[in-house]
Chains A and B, each alone.
Chain A
Amino acid sequence: MKLVDSKAVKVGIADLNFVKAPDVIRTSGLGSCVGVVIFDPVIKIAGMAHVMLPDSNSSKKEDFNPYKYADTAIPILVETLLKDGARKFALKAKIAGGAQMFAFSVKNDMLRIGERNVTAVKQMLEDYRIPIMAEDVHGNSGRTIEFSPETSMLHIRTISQGSKEI
């Protein structure tokens, strides 16, 4: 049996990147951030974003980083995938993250950011008519996720809840 050399493409915080099979793509330590994977299961290419905030209109800066927000990162994922040969009708998504890391209830909206991130990501995917095939969101654990465009599986690792594939 021949082992295929595959490498892991990394996605940082407020960052995004793309991958072709047999390589995999991963992002580490999602808390309230949401990891969004959009992929074409037949062409076997995928893009992943590590979204930090729901809405770029909240940016108090003009030259903001578009990878940071759900409403600006997801369009970049979709358009780049289409340019790279993915087919619009075939695009699918998997998402993970949006936890609430601190269990206190404060008025501060910033501390419910996980929930708001998940809602914003789902809304954007809905707008693009991209179905969400699987999700592992909310809760209060950090997650490291790795997606394989070869198998379309998203591997999720947590410290206290172990690992799983969705």
Chain B
Amino acid sequence: MSIFDSLTEYQLDVLKEVGNIGSGNAATSLSMLVGSKIDMRIPTVRLVDYNEMMDLVDGPETLIAAIFLRIEGETPGNMFFVLSSQEASNFVEQMTGQTDFSIEHPPHDEMALSALQEAGNILAGSYLTALSDFLKLSLQPSVPILTIDMAAAILTEGLMELSQVSDYAIIIETIIDNHAEQKEQIKGHFFLLPDPESFPKIFNKLGVADQ
């Protein structure tokens, strides 16, 4: 039986903890970057088919800005940091003071793009560092890449590995935000998609027996 058919409650809790550790560290890094308090929400672990995954970001055609990176090492997988159009504008405003940036209107300002790229690098990097320390596994991230396009076109890339063994993805989703303390909310979603063979290793490392 594959892992996708038989996740136990306990295993789900372990995966939530993985999301907690990673995004907790990322939220701290982001706080330092923008100089305001950033929190993270309780992680969600979802078992979704490809089309349901697109619903998590308001449908396949929704325009998003996403930082993608491939994780190599002992537990390979894919990671996305996803921003909606409004979230991307808020991010850029916080980081550069530029108030008129919108991903809806290409061509995009180089400054704004590099600010987004840099935020993505820092966030993804701190997420993975925490994860790697927690799991005591060596994880090597690829260089994160910023892409702005339709959600399905971007996110499907992260499903390719997985799609050879399953029509479902296990997504560890965490949202970080500043609870709208200011008018402009800073908010983003992490999607961590471990490759199928990574799950037994993660469970094993954390002392949860795989069935």
Residues of A within 8 A of B (CB): 12-15, 28-33, 52-53, 58-61, 65, 68, 99, 101-104, 106, 108, 110-111, 113, 141-144, 159-160
Contact = CB atoms under 8 A, between A and B. Distances in A.
Contact of A13 (B63, B143, B156, B161): B156
B114 interface: no
Given A13-B60, A142-B154, A110 B160 contact: yes
Contact of A28 (B2, B59, B147, B163): B59
B106 interface: yes
A68 B51 CA distance: 13
B145 interface: yes
Interface string B47-61: 000110010000111
B57 to A, nearest CB: 10
A103 B165 CA distance: 26
Given A28-B60, A101-B147, A143 B156 contact: no
Contacts of B2: 61
B53 to A, nearest CB: 9
Given A104-B142, A144-B61, A31 B149 contact: yes
B163 A101 contact: no
Given A13-B54, A160-B106, A160-B149, 11 more contacts: A14-B167, A29-B150, A31-B157, A52-B156, A53-B163, A59-B164, A101-B147, A102-B157, A104-B143, A110-B161, A143-B150
Contacts of A15: 51
Nearest to B72: A108
Interface of B: 2, 50-51, 54, 59-61, 63, 68, 70, 106, 142-143, 145, 147-154, 156-157, 159-161, 163-167
Nearest to A108: B70
Given A32-B156, A144-B61, A144-B150, A103 B164 contact: no
B165 A29 contact: no
12 contacts: A13-B60, A14-B50, A15-B51, A28-B152, A32-B160, A52-B160, A65-B167, A103-B145, A141-B153, A143-B153, A144-B61, A159-B149
- Considering the complex of A and B, which 4 residue pairs feature the smallest CB-CB distances, nearest first? A29-B152, A142-B153, A31-B153, A142-B150
Contacts of B159: 52
A59 B145 CA distance: 28
A68 B164 CA distance: 9
Contacts of B142: 104, 106
A165 B27 CA distance: 45
Contacts of B51: 12-13, 15
A29 B164 contact: no
Contacts of A159: 63, 106, 148-150
Nearest to B153: A142
B48 to A, nearest CB: 12
